Every structure is written in C-alpha cells, then in structure tokens.
Structure 1
Amino acid sequence: MTPRTTRLTAALAVATAALIGLPLAATASSAATAAVPAAVQATPAGTVVPLQVTGPAASRFNLVVMGDGYTAADLPKFRQQVDKHLNVLWSIEPFKSYRNYINVYAVEIPSPESGVDCDPNLTSPKVDTPLQMGFWGGCNPASVQRLLTVSATAAAQYADLVPGTTPSNRQILAIGNSDTYGGAGGTYATASGGNALSALITPHELGHSLGGLQDEYDYYARGARGAAYEGPEPSSIHHTLLTEQQMLAEQKKWFRWLGEQSESGGRIGRYEAGMYAGSGVWRPSRHSMMKVLGYYFDQVSRERMTQRISSRANLIQASTPPGPVAPTQVVWLQTLHPASHELTVTWTLNGTPLPTNNQRFIDLSTLSLPSTTPHTLTATITDPTPFIRDPAVRASITTTRTWTINPPAPTQAKAQAAATTQAARAEGEQAATLAGGAGLAETSAAQRRSASAAVPAASQATFTASTATEQPVNAGEVVYVETTQSDSEQPVVTWRLDGSVVANPGNDRDLPLAPLNLTGTHTLTATVGSDTRTWQVDGTTPTTTATLSKPLLKITKPSGPEYIYNDAFTMSLKATDNSAGYVVPEFRVNGDGWYNYYGWPTDADLPFRFTAEGTEIDQLVYGKLGVPRVVPWDDVPSGYGRHQIEYRAIDAPGNIAAPERFAVTLLRPAPTCTTTLTGIQNRPLTLTSGVTCLTDATVNGPVTVRPGASLVATDTKIQGPVDASGAADVHLLRTTVSGPVNLASTSRSAVLVGSTIAGPVTVLNAQTTEPVVLAGNTINGPLACTSNAATPTNLQAPNQVAGPRSGQCRAL
C-alpha cells in the first residue's frame, strides 16, 4: 500500500500491530470463531490489514474492504486497486472532509481461482472464490449483467475478523477481480476492481448503502427509457413531485438549496426523471453522482451523506464522566476531528454561556462559584459545516454532555480556595508566556500544575492520538492531537512550523493549516511535555499534463492554448505529484461540474474521446461535448462550437491544484470522401462530382472545383490556384496553396483553417447555412468577402493577411 492508504494513527499502534499480517484464525475473536460454521472455517484464511485507523473501531465508522477472486499472485493488484478506490473516495465530499471519522480495513483473502462468476456473460464459467461474487445478480438469468453480488454470509464472516466492528458501525465493500463494469448497493456495497469506472462505482454504491440514496436513472434496464412515475410523493429526499414554488412555499425537500450552483454542475433546481422513471418525478440536479458516475454528490445528497457518516461515529470520544464533579477539578472532553474544520464546543454554566473560545476543557477552580448550591455544567458539540442546512439534520448530529458541580464542605472549600490563590500568584507570569499563550486555557493549566502535587507534571503528559504522521498532510488540513487527561491537569500543546511557534489559542488540540497559506514543504510539530509528534506539510500541488490529438490549428494566447478540430478529438490527462499514492485527475467543460478523468470506459489507458453527440458504449453515452448526454434518448444541443475545458488534479495528501484551461472549437466534420488522392499528382485537377479528398498529397498544377463537387485538402501542397465556383464544399485544412483561392457561390460548407495561401483569397456569395470559416490562415495577399449569406468567422483565431481586408472579412 502507498503511504496515503496506510494512515495509521499512533494512538492505536499497539492494537493495529496485533492485526497486521495475521491470518483469519489468529485475528478472529473466540466468539467470532465459534460462530463461524465449519464450511466457512475451511475457506481461505483472510489477513486483516489496517489502511487508515483514526480511532477505536467502536467509536468510528468502519469501512471494511475485502477482495474476491484475487489469488495470492493477484493480491498486489488488489492493493493497487484499493489505493485508487480510496484516493478517489477521499477526493469527493463529504468523504474528503470527514476522512478522520472513518477507519478503513482491508481483508485480503487469497482465492483458489482468479475472477468472479458469470463474467461477463451467463455462459461464462463459475469460479471458486471465497465470497462467491458474480455478475448477473449471482448468475441469475432474470437479473442484469452489471449487478455484481456477494455472499452475505461469507462477507459478514470475514468482516467479523476486524475487532470492534459490528453490522451497526461498519460498511462492507467487496471488490471483485474483474475488468467488467459492475457493482451493487444495499446492505453491502460491491464494485469490480479493474474497470476504468470501478473507483467511481464505490462512492455511488456507498450513496445507496450508507446514505440510503436512490438512483436518479431514468431507466432500469439499459437501452429502455423507464415508464412515467405514477406513485405518491416519494419518500426519497432527492426526488419529488413538487414544483420549485411548492417546495419553497411548503418548505419541503431541497427548498433550502434551490437556485444555487450545484456541486455536480448546473444549478439546484428541478430536473425530470429518476428512480428508474422516465418522467413524472423530479430530482435536484442535472447529473449528480447518483445519476452519472464521475460527478460529485450534489448538495442534497452531500447533506445526507454528511449526516450518515457523522451518525456512525461518536462526536464525543472521551470526557470527564458525566455526573457529579468537584468545584476544583478540570472537566474535559475529546471530540472527533474533521479534516477540513473544527467542531464547535460551547460550555454553559446553569444555562449561561462561558467565554471559552472553543477550548475542550473547563477549570472549575477559576469560575468563582457560589459554594452553597449545585451548578449544572453543559458542553454542546456542534458541527458548523456548511454542508448541512436542515436544522433537524444538524440537531441529529449535535451532542451534549452534562455535569453537576457539587459544593464542597465549608472547611474543604476554604482550603481549596487558598491553594488555588497561592498557585495563581506563583505561576501567573509563567502561564502568560506559554506557547499559544493567551487565554483561559494556559492560565488555568499553570494553576492546576501548582494546585495538586499528586497530579503528574505537564512534562510527563503524552499524546494519545493524532493525525497520522506516516505520510504528509495537505496545506489546507486541520491537524489534530489528543493528550493524556486528568481531573486536575490539561497540558498545553505547543505547535511549531519549521521551528517557529504558531499561536493557536482556544482549542489547541486542532491546528488549521489553511490560514497559514503554505506552499512547498514544511515541518510541523506538536509538543506536550516531553512528547513530540512531527508531520510533513505538503503544500505542493500536483501537476497535470493534458495531451490532445492533433488539431487543425493550435493558437497560443495569454489565457491558454486554443484548438480547432473538425469532429472527434481525444484528451489524455496525466497527473503526477511529489507524494506517493494515486493522484486523481479531473476536468470540466464550460464551468459545469468537475468530472473524474478515468481514461475511457473500455480501457483506462485510452484517452477520453470528445464528439459532438457522444459515443454510445453499453447503451450509455460518453464524451458528449457541451451539454452532456447520458443515455441515447437525451435531447440536448449538439456539441459543435466553442467550449472551454479546465483540468486539475487532487493528490494523495488532498491538495487540489489550480485548474489549467484550454479552449476548443469543434467544427462539423468534412464531407465523407468518395475519392482519395495521396502522394504526388503531376497534373491539374478538375473535380466535377463527388467528394475528392487530397490527403498528404502534392498537386503540381491548379485545382478546379465544378458546381456540385467538393474538395477536402488536408496537409496538402497545391502548386497553383484553387478555383471553386458553385462547389458544394471546399475545405483547405493545414494546406499550402501556391496561388490565389477563389470561392464563389459555395452551397454547403467552406472551411479554411491553418492554411497558407500565396495570393489573394476571395469569398463571394456563399449560401452556406453556417458561416464560412477562415481561421488561423496566412494569406500573402488581400482578403475580400462579399454578399455571403452569413458573415464569415475566424473562430477567434485571427488570420495573418499581407494585403487589405475588405467587405465582410474586414475584421478577420
């Protein structure tokens, strides 16, 4: 595994060391072993490998990833695929922000045979594998090919090998050794491991299994649009029969998000179809992850996923036991730690808020409490994430803890007050100079150290948990630590960046790095007593290189390169980084939602292919430029014209690179050739009918195009003029003409791109539906355009013209 996928937490080093590398029989508890039937005992042993351990399994959401159909020789492939699945998952919200709430364990199970059942067809063989994974719903002729199922009994048996996990605090993800597209969501999530889209199947299926989200497809069986929805208002949070006005008026469904830019592209609104129905029901976004793999969750689904992840973990990880406490002690708690922000802890005394600056403890000896009556101390932990807007959802993940402060006996109270006063005087100056020093936390820490000789000194405090130190943290992360605790000691944590103290008042257990605006590589340390933890801060963003197929024309501008193509073109994105682990490339078109770059659906090593209408693969549509088509019956505008494509990458630590961009103009393709000429043509050419294509040719003489005939010259040299009168089409593409070009009364299309003309160019009386294209040409003579049905265009690629420009071409 890469460092990114081994985010082991030092607090659990002893526990996890007991798991790494041990076989099934050794890692199972005696109770779990006794519960395993004899048939399962005979199956291959499994090895539990902790990949990311952020806390005790009993207080975390645990993702248990197991592979099926991987022989011992295949296990390196399984590990590599899991690395990709996880890094893609961590690049998607809310998994990115709540990564620290999740433990991830892999269960490696050497399979007797390689592969899974019925892959890819019902006639394909069955395979001897521990989890009995198979396509067609487990080889069921009445099912669908892409439904990849797993033996629930076997999956549960292997998941039980991870101590502390139970069906209520874990999610099983079974990955099959297959390159065929497929997966399933439900109690367990499944995905094929080697398909180009496999890593995107995982978050989609977790949307079902963890989030209870529904599919937003307008079909069930591919290739057949679903019937109209005829049921009542759906219980699904992201489907409705209501109009936007009704949602707002009745304050139902996603009314709080209406009109906002969707995280998955477009705006949050009302889009017809979903839940396998082709009409009659509406969803929030044009294409969120629950409809199209590759996009993010939209805000409606993201809110639900945030709620479900949070509900599977305990916001309060430890604390002073609730109930009676003494008026001189320290009351403390430890919370979870989102990777993107701090949780908010509010302390109240008898219902009145205390000015605690989000710290995680209260020194009761500093509060000047009346000693005659009990008092109620309450800590409320809330998550201020903007991912949640529904007050009910926020309340569902808000936690409180309450203590009763009992008054001491009169003589005891007097003695304790005197001790506290003496301690405060003796240590006040020292407390004021502690690192991160201002505020109640530091002052009260000094008082506590002097007030009780029975409590260990701060120098003896140690760390109990932290953000993993085994790999870099990103420059926007919130790094956290936890320390030993006592009723009279709250050690101060000192943070240093490259050796210099970083002020961190209030909650000194979390250090947000984003305000530091770090770039490059830095060393971060946290010290408590004599214990220090060290992280490398990776502030270097990944690099993404875009490689495009050969264009008709490339233009370099300050805003980025621009390309002109006539029909299909391909784009390959290669992302690299200075940190180990899979780097996630993304792109978006015309400011739409970011889309995961996975290569091509049929082969992850092939580049992504853009066309005006998209390419149909297994009855879905990929690569539609402009407004996407998802299924063949989508009625959307064609992708011809000018578009902007941005691309970026997210590295394993979580840094997101600033996007780079290019513009692309997609022209309609040249007409299909009826005659193709290549090589040297030592004669004049007169074209009288059909479509003559000159490809990598040299014509030693003039070219004449008669009425109704067409010429397409690509990468060709014409030693003479080109004269076309009444031609259907004339396309001069990256072509050199040693003479004038005269186009008169062209009827269908005229395109001159990236060509060099040694003479004047005249375009007269073109009756084409779309404008004549004159883009990026070098014209050693005048350019004149007159009486054309549509004004010619240069596609924002000016021509270099040696002579005057006149008529409709004056600005070209």
Structure 2
Amino acid sequence: MRTKLLTVLVALITLPLTAQAAPTAQAAPTAQAAPGAWGAPGDRGATVVRDAAAVPEATVVPVQVTGPAASRFNLVVMGDGYTAAELPKFREQLDKHLNILWSIEPFKSYRNYVNVYAVEIASPESGVDCDPGLDAPKRDTPLQMGFWGGCNPGSVQRLLTVSQAAATRYADLVPGTTSANRQILAIGNSATYGGAGGSYATASGGNALSALITPHELGHSLGGLQDEYDYYARGDRGAPYQGPEPSSIHHSLLTEQQMLDQHKKWFRWLGEQSESGGTIGRYEGGMYAGSGVWRPSAHSMMKVLGYYFDQVSRERMTQRLSAKATLFQGSTPAGPVAADQVVWLQTLHPVDHELDVTWTLDGTPLPTANARAVDLAALDLAPGKHTLTASIVDNTTFIRDRAARPTATRAWIVDNSQPTTTASTTAPTSTTAPTSTAPPTFAASTPTEHPVGADEVVYAETTQSATAQPAITWRLDGAVVPNPGNDRDLALAPLKLTGRHTLTAQVSADTLAWQVDGVEPTVTPTMSKPLLTVQKASGPEYVYDDTFTMGLSATDDSPGYVVPEFRVDGDGWYNYYGWPTDASAPFRFTAEGTEIDQLVYGKLGVPRVVPWDNVPSGYGRHLVEYRAIDATGNIGTPKRFAVTLLHPAPACTKTLTGTHNGPLYLSSGVTCLTNATVNGPTVVAAGASLIARDSHLAGPVRADRAADLQLLRSTVIGPLGADRTSRSLVVVGSTIQGPVSVTNSKTTQPPALAGNTVNGPLTCSANTPAPTNLEAPNHVSGPRTAQCTNS
C-alpha cells in the first residue's frame, strides 16, 4: 500500500507515510552555457541555470548520456543542503549511489538504457530540516528537504521529504526530460538514515545505507513493486492479511502447486536459487502483513536493503526499464523502398548481450544471422510489391515469459514493379535507391572516455546510406577480431580477457578506441582478533567466541567507487556498507544479531531481519565469501574464509589479572583469568568454573567435576586433566606442555579441542558428546587415543 497526495507516491524504506503538500512552484529558471562543469571527460557540457525568482542557481551536469532523452530512462539526481564548498561531497556520494546501482541487476545489464543528469545546487546553508530531531533547526535549502515528513510531529524521523514543486522545477532544466521519462532522486546532506520513494525518491547522502535506498525506491517508482515487510511500524509485526488475491506480482495467497496448476504469479521461477539468497518458493509475510500472504524469497531487496532483487522482481524491473526506452533507435524511414536498396536499422544495446533482429520478406524469414541490414538487390525479388519486416526482440533470460519480452517491429514496402511500355515511350514505375558519396563515420558508440569491462558487449553505430551498410572492423591489440552477422556489437566475454587491452573499431577512415579493463578489483578483509587462525589452501579458518567483526576494503586500478559484497553459507550476496550506524565501522557478526531501530543486523547463519524471526542461532561453523564489483562492472573472483562461533563463556563472578604466586584452588563461581600468570598448580573443584584467556599457568591444571573449563589462547606448563565436566569444555589455540586427558564429560556442546599444541599424549574417552577439533587440527607430539584419535 502506498498513499497518494498530490500525485506523489511515498514508500518509506521501512515505514510508508503520506508526504506533505509541496509549496507552489515559482517561475521557471532560464539557462545559459557554462564551461568547466563536473562530469566524465567527453560528456556534454554542463549548463548553469539562474532562476529569475532569485532561488539558487543550478548546474546541470550530464553524468552519463547514452542517447536522446526522449528514447531513454532519465535519472535526474539533485542534492540539497550542500553548500558550494560541499558540492565535492555531493559528487562523491552520487558516485557511490550510481556505482552501487550499476552493480545491481537489471541496472547493471541495462545501464546503456539510462541517462543520468546531476543538478548541482549550492545551498545557502548546510544540512536539511529537523535533522535528526524535531527540535533541530530548519535550514535554508533550495529543495526544502526535511526529516519527519518535512518537520511534521505526526510523522517519523526517517521520512525524508522534498518540495515537489522545487524538485520538479529543477528537473525541468534537463532538456528533453519530462515526468513521463524521468525519475527524480534528491540526496540530502545528512548522515541520518532516511528516504522516501514514488514519483520522486529521496535519500540521505551520508548514511551507511543511503546508496541502497535508491534501487529500493526505484523498485517502487519504476517497477510498481510493493514492500515485502511483514510490519507497518517497526517493532510491531503486522496483522494477518485479509483480502482477495493481491494484484502485486510478488505477493500471493496461492500455494506453490496452485501457481503451477494455474500458471499464475511466479510459477515459472519456483524452485530456482534466488538471486537474493535461498530458493524461490513461498515465504509468509509481506505488504505489511505478518501472516496470511506469501512472497517469493526470504529477503529480496524489497524486504531487506543490501540484497539483490530476486528473479520475480528483477523480471518486472527489466520489463519496466525496457518500456522506458525505444528498441528502434533509427532505421531506413518506414514506407516504400527501392528493390535495390539496403534497408538498415539501429537498436538499443544492453551491456551484457545483443538484441536479436529477424528479417522477413512477405512473412518468410531471411537468413541474416542477426545482421542490422538487408541488401534487397541480393534477394532476386519477383516483380511486384513486397513487405519487408524487421523485428527486434530482447531475449533476455531475466524475463522468463517469452511473450512478455521487449519487442518492436517495423515494416517497409519494397517496390519491384517492372517498367511499362507504350508505342511511344517506356516509363519505369519502380523506384531506385538514392546514392551517397559521403564517407561513412561513427554516429554513436559505447563511451570511449572510460574503460569497458572484459565481459561487456561493446557497440558502435555508423552513418548510413541507402546503398550500403558500412562494415565495421574490430581489432584487439591490433589483431582483427572476426565478428560475423551483427558487426555493430562485439561481445568481449568469449575472448576471456584478463589484464589491460586496447580495442578499436574502424569504418572507412574513422576510428574509435577503448581501453578494456580485465583487471579484477581487490578486496582486503580486516578481522577482529580470533581465538585461533588456521591457514588452509581454501582460505583461513577462524575461531571466535560469541562475536567478531569484519571490515572489507575494496580497491581497483580504475577510478570510481568499488562495491564490496559478502555472503554467508551460500546465501544471497549482501552489500558491504560498514555498519548501519557508522559507514566506517566494520560489520559485526553475532549468533543472534544486533537490533538497531527495531531491525536486526549481523545475524550469522540464517539471517534474522526482525526481532520475531524464528531462525536457528548462528553458533557453529560458517563459510563467508567476499568479492567486489568495480566501476567498470568487473566482478572479482570471490575469496573465502570459514569461521566457527563458539557459545559464550559464562559470566565471570571473579576476574584475576596480573600474577598469582602459588596454587590456585577454585571451589565455586566462575573465575576468569585475563592476561594473568599463575605460578603454581590450578585445581577446579566440583561445580566451579575456570575461563582462562591469554594467560600463563605455570603448573598442572586439574578439573574434577567442574562446571566449565575453558582455556583460550593460553599456556599450561604441565599436564591438563579434565574429568566429568558438566557444562562446557573448550581448549582452543593453547599450548600444553604435558599430557592432556579429557574423560567422562557430559557437556551441552561437544568439547572443543582445536588448534592446540600438545607436547605429550592426548587422551579422550567416554565423553558425551564426543570432542571436536572444529576442523582445526591439534599438533600433538605423543599418541592420540580413543575419541581424539583423529583430532
């Protein structure tokens, strides 16, 4: 459900509310050219706009122009609350927003369908209204952005609204764009989490999650997708759904079998691995209802920021994005053509594949091998008139329903009439193709100002004549690359390129050149200090007790924001944004997750999104993979590490640090040794517990019927014996200068003996459950017996 007010659709990231009415629009600004604008080299020049109504001037900067605005989806991005000195900050945040958008399908593959224009407006004051609270001052800013729904006490903090009139006025400065072919995105100068979506979208610029708001809101405004939240207000699970079968394509009351039997909803995708993690099936909750309605995936982007669109939502987004652009970008003018003419067309160009073009003559397919032109003179046409038809189809795998794939058709009448003869004259009635002597040149192409990816489809279009379609010669590092059929597109993926290369295209005397970037981005993880690290060929193994953090630093040899991602246990790839409250802080993993503003983050294993999600705890061993996507679009090869999260030790009742001389006898409670030294034997009596971390015990350690015995990164000078331990037994990353004996324990979790150095025999017997080495073998100088034979 989304609430309308003055035609503005508002879908708050986690709580949709009604936007406030915008003030009356002022007079439209006028434009004049200005040099030196920010933007990629080679982009069209910026335009400085001064408003006759004395509002701040604006600079329109073409960030990415892939074609005429009338035939593209136009994203118009404007900043609010950035002073002139802070405009570089806006540009940096916009770069991050866009590069994250280009890393998400279908925007990654259909980036060439999108024009992006930045409207830079120097604000008189820094910041936005009511940030972070209603008692915060209002700011003098061009777009009048404000939290709390524009400083409305009846709203909520994270609803960030903008003056519709002001946003529209500035968007109208971008030539060729209208409300029908553009999406306005306003970025506010704030680190507070917030945004809104619909006919316009907003996001705060400096929050860790800000750049993920944009694709979610485009899901609403462009795709018509609904929220998949099982709550309306955060912290309160929604009431059961009551109503008929939803019109939403990604919500249903049907069972999986009913979908298959009736060919409805997402029946074509059932059982497949979801692009957002898990399997596409039937998951309860959505449309703000906690039960009684089902969605396709566990946590698609429309439910959890950070994951991708699942296939069901991606299919709709692909359809809607394609519908905003024109498949036919040019052609021989429709109508009659001569029998000796070359009929040509030009298409759009997805980044990752070619569009398919088929030609038919009087309904019979021609063997054109996906070429963009037909030489009618070579067809040996029968006298008379014929119908030539060209069809463009986007056979993308993103749209499973073939009948719903983007298609466009154009037809020409071929006049091959024979001349008529009378007694006095011969009068030809057929038409003849006009000739042209102008040499062909390139008319459009994949931009040459920045590198292209090693798996990209690079395109070039030429000027055309009625008698020939000029052939394009492609060369890679000077060597000709065969490209039969459609020579307007060259797919680089089959070439399996790595490193840097030079690609050229030539027609007549005109040449284009691109740098091919086959260099993968790199990602460096930074882990908090583990109890144990074991290096393996497949990647390191870490052992932690209760909590750990992971930072990911991504770099590349090309400029632009690099998008790091990670996934756990093969679940969906998740955008690494730092930590929700601090983009510079590492991501924090715990067994149950951390609740922030009634949402849960960092749950290891099966994610917990909201506090009431009933999922298994994250203790145990997990596989974490990480990678990055650079500004060119290269996806790095994933690297990995395994992590074992131990159950937490019991709370300390007594803590010892420093040096303790003499025997240590523990008769009750939980004694914790932290960076301590014990010069003497240690005895843990029945019911007592010892938790030693980073400590040195110079003497034997004996635990008889202890509740807990945990030695973490510690050293024992002497034998270690543990008999009949009743609750937990953990020896990890420690060194024992003597024999180790673990017997008759009956613990809640298997005794963990992992990554230790034992200078003596290791004996384990009659333990229930049996001990485990957490896939981190111990180094034992003596024999291993019974339950520890393979440890």
- TM-score, length-normalised on structure 2? 0.93
Secondary structure, counterpart of 2:320 in structure 1: helix
Q: Does 1:204 align with 2:183?
A: no
Counterpart in 2 of 1:193? 205
Alpha-carbon distance between aligned partners in 1 of 2:657 and 2:354, rounded to the nearest angstrom? 67
Alpha-carbon distance between aligned partners in 1 of 2:753 and 2:298, rounded to the nearest angstrom? 36
Contact 2:415 2:430 in 1 (8 A): no
Question: CA 1:632–1:552 in 2, change beyond 3 Å: closer, same or farther?
Answer: same
The correspondence for 1:43, drawn from 38, 41, 55, is 55
Alpha-carbon distance between aligned partners in 2 of 1:411 and 1:706, rounded to the nearest angstrom? 118
The correspondence for 2:483, drawn from 504, 508, 517, is 504
Counterpart in 1 of 2:178? 166
Secondary structure, counterpart of 2:411 in structure 1: strand
The correspondence for 1:569, drawn from 531, 542, 548, is 548
Q: CA deviation at 1:121?
A: 1.6
Counterpart in 2 of 1:621? 600
Q: Does 1:594 align with 2:606?
A: no
Secondary structure, counterpart of 2:540 in structure 1: strand
Counterpart in 1 of 2:130? 118
Q: CA deviation at 1:157?
A: 0.5
- The amino acid that maps onto 2:450 is Q
Counterpart in 1 of 2:399? 388
Alignment of 1:286-365 (within 5 A): 286-365=298-377
Deviations 1:186-234 (A, max 9, x none): 1111111000011111100111111110100111111111111101111
Alpha-carbon distance between aligned partners in 1 of 2:164 and 2:403, rounded to the nearest angstrom? 34
Alpha-carbon distance between aligned partners in 2 of 1:418 and 1:127, rounded to the nearest angstrom? 72
Q: Does 1:92 align with 2:104?
A: yes
Deviations 1:21-71 (A, max 9, x none): x3214xxxxxxx8xxxx6xx3211110000000001111110000111111
Contact 1:7 1:53 in 2 (8 A): no
Q: CA deviation at 1:391?
A: 3.5
Alignment of 1:522-561 (within 5 A): 522-561=501-540
Alpha-carbon distance between aligned partners in 2 of 1:804 and 1:553, rounded to the nearest angstrom? 23
Secondary structure, counterpart of 1:374 in structure 2: strand
My pick for the range that moved more, 515-524 or 680-689, is 680-689
Alignment of 1:12-31 (within 5 A): 16-17=44-45, 20=46, 22-25=47-50
Q: CA deviation at 1:767?
A: 1.5
Counterpart in 2 of 1:663? 642
The correspondence for 1:398, drawn from 407, 411, 414, is 407
Q: CA deviation at 1:408?
A: 3.9
**Structure 2 residue runs without a partner (length 5+):** 1-37
CA RMSD after TM alignment: 1.8
Question: CA 1:141–1:419 in 2, change beyond 3 Å: closer, same or farther?
Answer: closer
- The amino acid that maps onto 1:456 is T
Secondary structure, counterpart of 1:24 in structure 2: strand
Counterpart in 2 of 1:257? 269
Question: CA 1:767–1:248 in 2, change beyond 3 Å: closer, same or farther?
Answer: same
Contact 1:299 1:387 in 2 (8 A): yes
My pick for the range that moved more, 260-269 or 324-333, is 324-333
Counterpart in 2 of 1:475? 454
- The amino acid that maps onto 1:227 is A
Alpha-carbon distance between aligned partners in 2 of 1:81 and 1:389, rounded to the nearest angstrom? 35
Contact 1:23 1:45 in 2 (8 A): yes
Secondary structure, counterpart of 2:277 in structure 1: coil
Contact 1:144 1:221 in 2 (8 A): no
Q: CA deviation at 1:146?
A: 1.2
Alpha-carbon distance between aligned partners in 2 of 1:510 and 1:125, rounded to the nearest angstrom? 55
Over 6 Å off, 4+ runs: 414-420
Q: Does 1:718 align with 2:697?
A: yes
Q: Does 1:683 align with 2:662?
A: yes
Deviations 1:395-436 (A, max 9, x none): xx2100011111245279x9999999xxxxxxxxxxxxxxxx
- TM-score, length-normalised on structure 1? 0.90
Alpha-carbon distance between aligned partners in 1 of 2:135 and 2:242, rounded to the nearest angstrom? 37
**Structure 1 residue runs without a partner (length 5+):** 26-32, 421-450
The correspondence for 1:794, drawn from 748, 762, 773, is 773
Counterpart in 1 of 2:756? 777
Counterpart in 1 of 2:711? 732
Contact 2:417 2:429 in 1 (8 A): no
Contact 1:340 1:476 in 2 (8 A): yes
Secondary structure, counterpart of 1:376 in structure 2: strand
Counterpart in 1 of 2:464? 485
Q: CA deviation at 1:105?
A: 0.2
Secondary structure, counterpart of 1:211 in structure 2: coil
Q: Does 1:214 align with 2:195?
A: no
Question: CA 1:752–1:621 in 2, change beyond 3 Å: closer, same or farther?
Answer: same
Counterpart in 2 of 1:82? 94
Alpha-carbon distance between aligned partners in 1 of 2:428 and 2:573, rounded to the nearest angstrom? 61
Contact 1:7 1:468 in 2 (8 A): no
Alpha-carbon distance between aligned partners in 2 of 1:417 and 1:573, rounded to the nearest angstrom? 72
Deviations 1:651-686 (A, max 9, x none): 110000110000000000111112111122122111
Secondary structure, counterpart of 2:137 in structure 1: coil
Q: Does 1:377 align with 2:388?
A: yes
Question: CA 1:197–1:401 in 2, change beyond 3 Å: closer, same or farther?
Answer: same
Counterpart in 2 of 1:432? none
Counterpart in 2 of 1:760? 739
Question: CA 1:7–1:492 in 2, change beyond 3 Å: closer, same or farther?
Answer: farther
Secondary structure, counterpart of 1:547 in structure 2: strand
Contact 1:740 1:760 in 2 (8 A): yes
Contact 2:338 2:431 in 1 (8 A): no
Q: CA deviation at 1:134?
A: 1.2
- The amino acid that maps onto 1:401 is R
Secondary structure, counterpart of 1:206 in structure 2: helix
Alpha-carbon distance between aligned partners in 2 of 1:520 and 1:415, rounded to the nearest angstrom? 64
